[in-house]
Amino acid sequence: MKRRYIYSVLFGIPGLLLAFISTLMFLGMLMGVLWLFVFGDNTWPAAVDIVLPTLLGLVFFGMWAAFILGGYLLGKRREADLVLNRVHVLISATITFLLLAFVLVMTLFR
């Protein structure tokens, strides 16, 4: 398998979790800004029910695609290496584990 695809997976798995966490943080920030500065306690327009999920989907998939593209480009540059760098696999696994632990802790102690 080509190195570019391996690095796409190595960046994509933790990138999926990081995009998920960042999207939830973006949702909280956006809802706070909309409530405090735009709509307040008044009735919110129905367009928010359509625009907000669409925007969140774009943010999530855009961030995830950026991580995968970054892994692809790095893997493409490293294709001349004969041996896969095990440190990169270990870093990816560690970051994935830490992000999963973060999601679990935040879910249990909310």
The pLDDT, as a whole number, for residue 79 is: 86
Over the stretch 18-29, which tens digit does the pLDDT of each residue have? Answer: 999 999 999 999
**Which tokens hold the place of 84?**
């896969």
Measured distance CA(91)–CA(14) in Å, rounded = 10
pLDDT tens track for 24-72: 999 999 999 999 999 988 899 999 999 999 999 999 999 999 999 999 9
- Contact indicator for 79, 5 with CB cutoff of 8 Å: no
For 73-103, what is each residue's pLDDT tens digit?
A: 999 998 888 777 889 899 999 999 999 999 9
The residue ranges of every structural domain in the chain are 3-35+45-108
Contact assessment for residue 63 and residue 22, using Cβ atoms and an 8 Å cutoff: yes
